[in-house]
Amino acid sequence: MTITSHPVSAPEFTAGGGLVSSGIVSSGVELDVDEFGPHFGAEIRGVDVASSSDDEVRAIRQALVDYKVVVLRDQHIDDAAHIEFGRRLGDLTAGHPVWNSGDVPGEVYALDSSDDGFADVWHTDVTFMPRPPMGSILRPIVLPRNGGDTNWADAELAYLSLSEPVRRLVDELTAVHDGNRAFGYYLKQRRGGRGNTWDGEEVTELVPVSHPVVRVHPETGRKSLFVNPGFTSHIEGVSEAESRGILDLLYAHITKPEHIVRHRWRLGDIVMWDNRNTLHYANRDYGDTRRVMHRITLRGDEPLGPA
């Protein structure tokens, strides 16, 4: 199943700042696809996830791999329908390894700004676990009048746009990812050392894990950078100063404007992204206004590097 893009007569810009083109998915299912740019991000229009056919779901799943970030508008669903849509795309994880989201289903991670539910640091979801999620599906519940946009960075495009000597360097490196910096205190003090069940085991501590700095996508075989400021603590086998220098270089490069798409939320939106080759950042620019988002995640696999 492939996606073929057909440019419109003249380029124009969406409200999110991206170039528009139309596309179809060839498999007997036609989708109306607006690309945000030449390499990254798309809105799929005219699909109702609550009543979509199996072929439409497969086409959306392929679009997720091809575009990395996919926006679906006007999807006014509840948590149950959110979870059902996720299950049609793949196996689901718990909402989060340690966070207690309260009175919501166990598959849901509720990010509530009234309870420190912020994501204003570039990160890739849950890379501090041995098997981070394959993808995430996010929808808004309560939105501020303005602000609270989410940005995604294309770590595959960032890898490709590095110079060849730097690519050779990072191909050989491994980094440590540590969830204690963000969630260690919460797990110990608010959960009493009893987190959620992740990959069949209750999480009682957050043991740092090692992942390759360059990850090979298990479906496309393409390489992307797999480090993020939220959870990557250091690079193994180099000095502290070298680790800081390499990571700072990679972070600055990943978040160059040409690697980023930005989404302005509306109620009814669903945005899904490939967690294996993207980072994201939620703008914290809405003051004391409340912002609540519900996220589910698709079960992933162990990241593998070029070796």
Q: What residue segments make up the domains of the chain, in order of their start? A: 113-265+276-301
HSE-up of 211 (CA within 13 Å, CB side)?
29
Low-confidence winner among 9-18, 23-32, 42-51, 260-269 (lowest mean pLDDT): 9-18
Residue 29: its pLDDT value, please? 83
- Contact (Cβ atoms closer than 8 angstroms) between residue 68 and residue 277: yes
In this prediction, residues 105-126 reach a mean pLDDT of 96
- Contact (Cβ atoms closer than 8 angstroms) between residue 93 and residue 198: yes
Indicate the pLDDT class of residue 8, thresholds 50, 70 and 90.
very low
Say if residue 300's pLDDT is above 60: yes
Say if residue 6's pLDDT is above 90: no
DSSP secondary structure letter of residue 19: B
- Report the b/e string of 248-287 with b at 16+ CB within 10 A: eebbebbbeeebbbbbbbeeebbbbbbbbbbbbbbbeebe
In this prediction, residues 99-110 reach a mean pLDDT of 96
Residue 21: its pLDDT value, please? 47
Query: Bridge-partner residues for 35, per DSSP?
Result: 42
Say if residue 38's pLDDT is above 90: no
The CATH H-level superfamily of 113-265+276-301 is Clavaminate synthase-like (3.60.130.10)
Is the sign of the CA dihedral 210, 215, 217, 221 positive or negative? negative
Q: φ, ψ for residue 185 (rounded to 5)?
A: -65, -45
- Integer Cα distance of 302 and 220 in angstroms: 15
Contacts with 268 (C-beta within 8 Å, 6 or more apart), sequence order: 73, 74, 75, 76
Query: Bridge-partner residues for 150, per DSSP?
Result: 263, 282
Q: Which H helix or E strand runs over 234?
A: strand 232-235
- Contact (Cβ atoms closer than 8 angstroms) between residue 118 and residue 283: no
Question: For 99-186, where are the alpha helices, taking DSSP H only?
Answer: 155-160, 164-171, 185
Picking from 42, 132, 124, 57, the residue whose alpha carbon sits closest to that of residue 90 is 57
Residue 37: its pLDDT value, please? 86
- Integer Cα distance of 110 and 107 in angstroms: 10
In this prediction, residues 248-275 reach a mean pLDDT of 98
Tokens 């207690």, residue located = 100
Say if residue 1's pLDDT is above 60: no
What DSSP string describes 168-192? HHHHT-EEEE-TIIIIIHIIIIIST
Residue 20: its pLDDT value, please? 42
One-letter identity of residue 218:
P
Neighbours of 17 (CB within 10 A): 15
Angle of the 79-89 helix axis to the 54-67 helix axis, nearest 10: 80
Tell me the catalytic residues: 123, 125, 280, 295
In this prediction, residues 229-238 reach a mean pLDDT of 98
Mean pLDDT, the chain, rounded, equals 92
